[in-house]
Amino acid sequence: MQRYDSAEGLYQMSFPRHWDFEIHEGIPAFFDPLLPNPGVLQIFAADLSKVDMQSEAYRSSPFLDGDTLREKMLLFLGSQISYNDEDVMQEAIVNGASFIAHEYYSEGRFFLAAMQQRNNSFVLALYNREGVPEREEIAELSATLKSLQITP
């Protein structure tokens, strides 16, 4: 595993040594270049105490309006898919931060959305790929998400 520290200093995580990443518009995107049809893990992070409510980033992220992490997830999912509230997990505490995740399929693609929040530090990790992910790919993704920690 190799370590990644966010440019903003909001989080750190480990990802498989053979994965690569690129940064697009300030958002890192991690992927396995060895797979013929790799999925992509994008990480959006924000210090909510410093978010400009008039900024384009805020307007394009209406899920940030949620008071709880679960409300943020429900707002996010509502902009992506139709869902049943009862199917969305409750918040848990992971690595000292509130955590919630939900996986779904949309238009032939698999998605896994995971959110963490500690105080005003917020992270959305969104993984997507065409079709069904391989077992090994899910294991690597799971290990990567488990390693994600909001920096104190």
For the chain, domain boundaries? 2-150
Task: Indicate the pLDDT class of residue 59, thresholds 50, 70 and 90.
Answer: low
CATH number of 2-150: 3.40.1000.10
| Whether residue 72 has pLDDT greater than 80 | yes
Provide the 8-state DSSP code for 149: E
44, 127 Cβ separation under 8 angstroms:
no
Q: Is 43 helix (H, G, I), strand (E, B) or coil?
A: strand
| Whether residue 104 has pLDDT greater than 80 | yes
Give the Cα separation of 130 and 126 in Å (integer): 14
Q: Containing H/E element for 22?
A: strand 20-24
pLDDT tens sequence across 123-134: 999 999 999 998
| pLDDT, average across residues 143-149 | 94
Q: Which of 143, 83, 141, 132 is nearest to 109 (CA)?
A: 132
What is the pTM assigned to this prediction?
0.87
Q: In what order do the strands lie in the sheet with 20-24?
A: 20-24, 27-31, 40-47, 121-130, 109-118, 97-106, 92-94
Give the Cα separation of 18 and 98 in Å (integer): 29
